[in-house]
Structures are given as C-alpha cells and as structure tokens.
Amino acid sequence: MISLLTGKKIAITKDILVNSHVTAEDQKNLYPFMNPTKYLSIPHDMNDTRERNENLVKDLKYLILPSMSPLLVSDDQLSQLPQILLFTTEYDILRDEGFIFASRLRTLNKTIYHHHFDNAFHGAHVFLYGPLRFEIAHEMIQHTAKILQNYL
C-alpha cells in the first residue's frame, strides 16, 4: 500500500516497524497525539537516539500529515467532529491507533460508539459472499446497522 501511495517501491522494513522513518523532531512533535502511556496505559519511553533512515524519512513524509491519520489532528479539530462510529478488530495493524483515537475522543467528551471485534481482522466486513464468506462480516454489518438505527 505504501508503494502505491508514493509511486516508489518501498518495502516494510525494520526501519518502519521501529519508527526510524520519521525524524526525531517529528516523532517528538507527534508523540502527544498518540502517547500510549496516556491513552492505552502502556508504559512507553520515547527513544530519540536511534539512527533514522533518511530515504524513508523523505519518501514517507506524507504519512505524518493529519490528512493521512486522524490521530494527528488537533484536539480543537477533533472536537468539531460529529458523532463517531468506530470499529476496531483484534488482528489489525491499526488496532492500537483505533483505541488511542477512541480514548482521545472520549477525553474531549465526544459522542463515540466504539466496538471492538476480538475475533476479526482488518477488512473482514467485506467478506460477505462467495468462497471467502466469513460470518463475522455479517455480524459487523448487522452491528453497524443497529448503531446507525439506534443512535445516529
């Protein structure tokens, strides 16, 4: 997916997994938006000392724009959002980000309907029919419809 967005062939490397694809300054500036110690009660020390992959820093700069991630939007902007329906799945690289987003919205007293599917994966809701039909997809769609009917 990253390669499609950049137009360059970029492999998911250890540099990305350990956040060496952002500058130390950017990491410091972005940390308050997604601090796992604050939002997930997970102890975490921010490490500014590791070497950065300058090629990735340059090629992936767009990933740290608020237009790419709702986590990077200011609290002022988040407080202007309407009611939010948010689903997270257990087997998803974005799972923790979803929980952080939900926590940030709750601290702003936003109305949020967050449901976590502990037996699903990212994108499972699209597997409704055919040879890759998953019952969880139907449960996810039914749950979405129920929330929309009852609350939104």
The percent of residues in the chain predicted with pLDDT above 90, rounded, is 45
Supply the DSSP string of the chain, one letter for each residue: -HHHHHSS-----HHHHTTTTS-HHHHHHHHHHH-HHHHS---------SPP-HHHHHHTGGGGSTTT-GGGS-HHHHTT---EEEEEEEE-TTHHHHHHHHHHHHHTT--EEEEEEEEEETTGGG--SSTT--HHHHHHHHHHHHHHHHH-
pLDDT digits (tens, 9 = 90+) for 71-92: 889 999 999 999 999 999 999 9
5 or 109: whose pLDDT is higher?
109
pLDDT of residue 46: 67
pTM listed for this prediction: 0.77
Confirm if 43 and 37 have CB atoms less than 8 A apart. Answer: yes
pLDDT of residue 12: 64
pLDDT of residue 35: 80
In this model, does residue 110 exceed pLDDT 60?
yes
Domain ranges across the chain:
1-68, 73-151
pLDDT digits (tens, 9 = 90+) for 14-62: 777 777 777 788 888 888 888 878 877 777 666 667 777 777 777 777 8
pLDDT of residue 7: 63
| Mean model confidence pLDDT for the chain | 84
- The pLDDT of 121-147, averaged and rounded, is 94
